[in-house]
Amino acid sequence: MADSGRLNTRFVCSDCACWLYSLPRDGVIRVRAGTLADTSWLQSTRHIWVRSKQPWVGFDEGDEIFEGQPPG
Protein backbone atom coordinates (compact mmCIF):
# COMPACT_ATOMS: atom_id res chain seq x y z
CA MET A 1 0.00 0.00 0.00
CA ALA A 2 1.45 3.36 -1.04
CA ASP A 3 1.42 6.43 1.20
CA SER A 4 -1.39 7.72 -1.03
CA GLY A 5 -3.55 4.72 -0.15
CA ARG A 6 -3.23 3.30 -3.67
CA LEU A 7 -2.52 -0.43 -3.93
CA ASN A 8 0.80 -1.11 -5.69
CA THR A 9 1.43 -4.43 -7.41
CA ARG A 10 5.12 -5.18 -7.70
CA PHE A 11 6.78 -7.94 -9.70
CA VAL A 12 9.84 -9.43 -8.04
CA CYS A 13 12.63 -11.85 -8.92
CA SER A 14 11.72 -15.41 -7.92
CA ASP A 15 15.31 -16.03 -6.75
CA CYS A 16 16.11 -12.95 -4.66
CA ALA A 17 12.76 -11.09 -4.31
CA CYS A 18 14.29 -7.91 -5.79
CA TRP A 19 11.61 -5.50 -7.06
CA LEU A 20 11.83 -5.50 -10.89
CA TYR A 21 8.83 -3.51 -12.15
CA SER A 22 5.26 -2.45 -11.36
CA LEU A 23 1.95 -2.67 -13.15
CA PRO A 24 1.46 0.05 -15.78
CA ARG A 25 0.11 3.37 -14.50
CA ASP A 26 -0.78 6.16 -16.89
CA GLY A 27 0.41 3.89 -19.72
CA VAL A 28 3.92 3.61 -18.26
CA ILE A 29 5.65 0.51 -16.91
CA ARG A 30 8.26 1.54 -14.36
CA VAL A 31 11.32 -0.71 -14.46
CA ARG A 32 13.85 -0.47 -11.65
CA ALA A 33 17.05 0.71 -13.35
CA GLY A 34 19.25 -1.10 -10.84
CA THR A 35 17.94 -4.43 -12.12
CA LEU A 36 19.28 -3.90 -15.65
CA ALA A 37 22.53 -5.57 -16.71
CA ASP A 38 23.58 -2.59 -18.89
CA THR A 39 22.65 0.87 -17.63
CA SER A 40 25.11 2.81 -19.81
CA TRP A 41 22.28 4.07 -22.04
CA LEU A 42 20.12 5.40 -19.20
CA GLN A 43 19.73 9.09 -18.48
CA SER A 44 17.92 10.04 -15.28
CA THR A 45 15.39 12.83 -15.73
CA ARG A 46 13.03 12.32 -12.78
CA HIS A 47 14.05 12.04 -9.15
CA ILE A 48 11.77 11.16 -6.23
CA TRP A 49 12.31 11.13 -2.46
CA VAL A 50 15.22 13.57 -2.80
CA ARG A 51 14.77 14.83 0.75
CA SER A 52 16.76 11.74 1.82
CA LYS A 53 19.50 12.03 -0.85
CA GLN A 54 23.16 12.28 0.04
CA PRO A 55 24.53 15.87 0.08
CA TRP A 56 26.91 15.14 -2.82
CA VAL A 57 24.10 14.05 -5.21
CA GLY A 58 23.26 16.64 -7.86
CA PHE A 59 20.67 16.90 -10.62
CA ASP A 60 20.71 18.26 -14.15
CA GLU A 61 18.85 21.43 -15.06
CA GLY A 62 15.37 20.59 -16.33
CA ASP A 63 15.04 17.35 -14.35
CA GLU A 64 11.79 16.71 -12.47
CA ILE A 65 12.59 16.71 -8.74
CA PHE A 66 10.24 15.67 -5.91
CA GLU A 67 11.00 15.89 -2.19
CA GLY A 68 8.70 12.91 -1.60
CA GLN A 69 6.13 10.95 -3.55
CA PRO A 70 4.98 12.81 -6.69
CA PRO A 71 1.29 13.67 -6.89
CA GLY A 72 -1.03 11.42 -8.84
Q: How many CA atoms lie within 13 A of 11 on its CB side?
A: 10
- Report pTM: 0.55
* Extents of the domains making up the chain: 1-34, 42-72
Sequence-separated (6 or more) residues with CB below 8 Å from residue 45: 60, 62, 63, 64
Distances (CA, A) of 42 to 33, 37, 39: 8, 12, 5
- Judged against a pLDDT cut of 80, whether residue 1 lies above it is answered with no
Q: How far apart are CA 58 and CA 24, in angstroms?
A: 29
Question: pLDDT digit string (tens) for 13-64?
Answer: 899 888 888 877 777 777 887 788 898 988 888 888 899 999 999 999 999 9
Pairing of strands 46-47, 19-22: unpaired
